Amino acid sequence: MGQYRTEQEQFWAGDFGNAYLLRNQGVDLLASNLKFFTKALRQAGSISSCVEFGANIGMNLQALKLLYPSMKLVGIEINHDAATRLAEHIGDENVFEGSIFDYPAEKQVDLALIKGVLIHIHPEMLELAYEKLFKAARKFILVCEYYNPSPISISYRGHQERLFKRDFAGEMLDKFPELELVDYGFSYRKDPVCPQDDITWFLLRKK
């Protein structure tokens, strides 16, 4: 398992993560992301900085840059090939290549974003992931994941113990009384114009 603490981290750092970045890119995805963030951040007002946990090649951050041209962007990415591509968009100095569990989260930003990443984290490590998100955020946390009212594990592209669904945002609200729910919504995979991947999103704010 090398330098990583969980099999899930090794999974995304290796060949599967390499294949993922090839499947998830292009102008159609950028357009879909632009629509997604326009809706998800409509209650956020002015946002000047963002860190994305699990940024991959930066498709989400590219969309945010279109919405907020002066936004300072930081990306955390465990897969080397993806981190290299990410640096082409936001600069080497703004990329943390490694596990989100190792991200220092010392400098706060207006928005801490995680999209389709918590579902791939081993449940025993979620508490640490939540703490990293909370510490990194000055104003808002945007959680965009598969939702289920109770924790379940399902097969992911033929692999077991690689996809977990639960109420991630609800758990964060319970863990941190300083957070409040600002807005939430759902994006459907069969949207005829800008499909996402059945993502339920929650915008949380620090009181």
Q: Where are the domains of the chain?
A: 7-206
Residue 9: per-residue pLDDT: 66
CATH homologous superfamily for the domain 7-206: Vaccinia Virus protein VP39 (3.40.50.150)
**pLDDT over 50 (residue 162):** yes
With H, G, I as helix, E, B as strand and everything else as coil, classify residue 147.
strand
Model confidence at 128, pLDDT cuts 50, 70, 90, reads very high
Pairing of strands 109-115, 95-97: unpaired
Decide: 86 and 31 in contact? Cβ < 8 Å: no
């010392």: which residue's tokens? Answer: 106
User: What residue ranges in the chain does DSSP mark as E strands?
Assistant: 49-53, 72-77, 95-97, 109-115, 137-145, 152-153, 164-165, 179-187, 199-206
Which pTM was predicted? Answer: 0.89
> What average pLDDT does this structure show over 128-138?
97
Between CA 196 and CA 207 the distance in angstroms is 30
Task: Quote the CA–CA distance of 71 and 60 in Å, as a whole number.
Answer: 13
For the cut 60, the answer to whether the pLDDT of residue 23 exceeds it is no
Judge whether 102 and 95 are in contact, CB under 8 Å.
no
- pLDDT of 17 reads 53
CA angle 91, 93, 95 (to 5 degrees): 75
User: What is the rounded average pLDDT for all residues in the chain?
Assistant: 90
Q: Per-residue pLDDT for 24 more than 90?
A: no
Q: Running DSSP on this structure, what letter comes out for residue 194?
A: S
User: CA-to-CA distance for 103 and 87, rounded, in angstroms?
Assistant: 17
Q: With bands split at pLDDT 50, 70 and 90, how would you rate the model's confidence at 2?
A: very low
**pLDDT grade for 176, boundaries at 50, 70 and 90:** very high
pLDDT tens for residues 74-85? 999 999 999 999
Confidence of residue 105 (pLDDT cuts 50, 70, 90): confident
